[in-house]
């Protein structure tokens, strides 16, 4: 089982998929920073002075980390950055679910879609599950990377 879950065939596909997801997610935010700032404001977790800065910087970090995964450059660093971002997203959405503060996630779309409170709460739950799924993908990359390191340390060629 471990051999299959850390197999390079799976790893390369997970890496490309995760990279593509983050590139796709970053584009609408880069295209419209004021709307993304509004989304971050709605979370009511970021101090006022950091809202606009976060709205500017976060999408570019997502884009660069996603591109790094797709191109296979600085894979581990990109994987770690994406893992941290996902953990932050999951915590932020979960806190607002707990507070019953219905918000649009702003993950892939920054336009206000005029949803009801119930629709937003449902979408937030879906977003948490989706982000946990992506965190599992990060976990797979980490596990595969660790196995590769172990094999290299033992001077054994990784399975092809």
What is the contact surface with another protein in residues (CB under 8 A)?
30-35, 37-38, 41, 44-49, 51-53, 55-61, 63-65, 68, 74, 76-78, 80-81, 99-102, 112, 114, 117, 149, 153
Q: Which is nearer to another protein, 58 or 137 (CB)?
A: 58
For the chain, first and last CA: distance in Å? 16
Q: Which has the closest alpha carbon to 127: 102, 155, 153?
A: 102
Query: Residue 38 CB, nearest distance to another protein (Å)?
Result: 5
Query: Residue 32 CB, nearest distance to another protein (Å)?
Result: 6
Q: Which is nearer to another protein, 50 or 129 (CB)?
A: 50
Q: Which is nearer to another protein, 154 or 157 (CB)?
A: 154
Alpha helices (runs of H) in the chain, residue ranges in sequence order: 2-5, 8-31, 33-43, 48-71, 75-99, 117-153
Q: Which is nearer to another protein, 62 or 131 (CB)?
A: 62
Q: Which is nearer to another protein, 1 or 147 (CB)?
A: 147
Query: Residue 26 CB, nearest distance to another protein (Å)?
Result: 10
Query: Which residues lie closer than 8 Å to 86 by C-beta, 6 or more apart?
Result: 131, 134, 135, 138
Query: Residue 4 CB, nearest distance to another protein (Å)?
Result: 26
Query: Residue 81 CB, nearest distance to another protein (Å)?
Result: 5
H/E/C letters for each residue in 61-105?
A: HHHHHHHHHHHCCCHHHHHHHHHHHHHHHHHHHHHHHHHCCCCCC
Distance (Å, whole) CA 60 – CA 43: 20
């Amino acid at each position: 089982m471990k051999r299959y879950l850390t197999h390079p065939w799976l790893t390369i596909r997970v890496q490309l998929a995760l990279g593509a997801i983050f590139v796709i997610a970053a584009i609408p935010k880069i295209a419209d920073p004021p709307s993304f700032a509004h989304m971050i404001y709605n979370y009511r977790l970021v101090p006022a002075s950091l809202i606009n800065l976060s709205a500017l910087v976060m999408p570019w970090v997502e884009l660069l980390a996603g591109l790094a995964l797709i191109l296979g450059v600085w894979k581990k660093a990109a994987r770690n950055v994406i893992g941290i971002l996902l953990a932050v997203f999951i915590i932020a959405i979960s806190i607002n679910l707990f507070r019953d503060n219905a918000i649009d996630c702003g993950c892939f779309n920054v336009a206000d879609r005029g949803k009801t409170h119930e629709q937003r709460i449902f979408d937030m739950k879906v977003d948490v599950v989706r982000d946990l799924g992506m965190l599992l993908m990060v976990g797979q990359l980490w596990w595969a990377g660790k196995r590769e390191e172990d094999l290299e340390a033992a001077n054994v060629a990784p399975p092809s």
